[in-house]
């Protein structure tokens, strides 16, 4: 696996300098968050972006289209993340990013999609000075990437839409089905594994913005088409439920 560049190597990287060229022009020294929150971005038909382009201005214009029809505060949040990732005045920009989350945590959790919630926790995991915040943020990224891998495998294997096999569900009630390294299959319908994991996660939900995102993402996974929601539909033991009224 290729080694991650050190901060010094990144600082002197010509490619990195090109990627943040023009950043000073897009940075706002004074931001009225209330005005941005109330303003709806109008940039035509919404198109989701993928990856990034080296030219900063072009990349931000593409993101602007992605947030068309939504609060301009969400685009502002995305711009801060882009600037931080491109190494533009990291400390100052990250401070503005954290202040935004301290001020508008509930609004951001409610209106950002999972993609941008994870971008936020990835940013916290990379840059926050508090170890507990970095740890909680990393938990969100890890959880989400595992679900992403699971759903991607379903697509690659063309298993999307496959119906559960009742005989196998019944078999799991009385028999251990080994997986690997001492692990065995989840006992569909009754297992307490996810409820116990939820209980262990609960204290982390209170860890500032990273904890709020963790709770938001967990709840959304219980209702979106994920392995959590599909297992929830088959679950029938109330005392081992792993979801709340919110999710």
Q: Which stretch of DSSP H or E encloses residue 93? A: helix 90-111
> For the segment 6-33, what is each residue's pLDDT rounded down to a tens digit?
666 665 555 554 555 445 566 565 688 9
Q: Which stretch of DSSP H or E encloses residue 119? A: helix 114-127
Weakest-pLDDT range from 32-41, 118-127, 187-196, 233-242: 32-41
Spatial CA neighbour of 82 closest among 111, 113, 116: 116
> For the segment 159-180, what is each residue's pLDDT rounded down to a tens digit?
988 999 999 999 999 999 999 9
> For the segment 209-226, what is each residue's pLDDT rounded down to a tens digit?
999 999 999 999 999 999
Query: What's the mean pLDDT in 103-108?
Result: 97
Rounded CA-CA distance 143/156 in Å is 20
* Burial degree of 105 (CB within 10 A; 0-12, 13-18, 19+): middle
Query: What's the mean pLDDT in 31-53?
Result: 78
DSSP one-letter code for 238: G
Q: What are phi and psi of 76, to 5 degrees?
A: -60, -45
Q: Helix (H) and strand (E) counts for the chain?
A: 13, 0
213, 121 Cβ separation under 8 angstroms: yes
DSSP calls for 188-228 = TTT--HHHHHHHHHGGGGGSHHHHHHHHHHHHHHTTSSSHH
217, 118 Cβ separation under 8 angstroms: yes
């Amino acid at each position: 696996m290729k080694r991650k560049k050190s901060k010094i190597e990144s600082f002197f990287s010509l490619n990195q300098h090109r990627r943040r060229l023009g950043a000073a022009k897009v940075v706002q020294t004074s931001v009225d968050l209330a005005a941005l929150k109330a303003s709806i971005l109008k940039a035509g038909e919404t198109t989701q972006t993928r990856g990034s382009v080296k030219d900063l201005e072009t990349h931000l214009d593409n993101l602007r289209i992605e947030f068309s029809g939504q609060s301009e505060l969400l685009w502002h949040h995305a711009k801060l993340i882009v600037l931080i990732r491109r190494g533009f005045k990291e400390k100052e920009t990250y401070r503005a990013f954290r202040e935004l989350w301290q001020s508008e945590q509930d609004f951001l959790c409610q209106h950002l999609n999972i993609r941008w919630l994870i971008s936020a926790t990835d940013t916290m995991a990379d840059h926050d000075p508090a170890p507990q915040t970095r740890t909680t943020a990393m938990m969100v990224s890890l959880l989400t990437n595992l679900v992403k891998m699971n759903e991607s495998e379903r697509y690659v294997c063309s298993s999307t839409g496959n119906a559960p096999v009742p005989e196998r569900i019944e078999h799991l009630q009385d028999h251990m089905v080994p997986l690997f390294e001492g692990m065995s299959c989840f006992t569909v319908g009754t297992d307490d594994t996810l409820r116990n994991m939820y209980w262990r996660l609960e204290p982390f939900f209170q860890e500032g913005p990273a904890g709020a995102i963790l709770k938001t993402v967990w709840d959304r996974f219980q209702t979106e088409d994920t392995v959590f929601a599909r297992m929830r539909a088959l679950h029938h033991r109330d005392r081992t439920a792993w979801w709340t009224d919110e999710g």
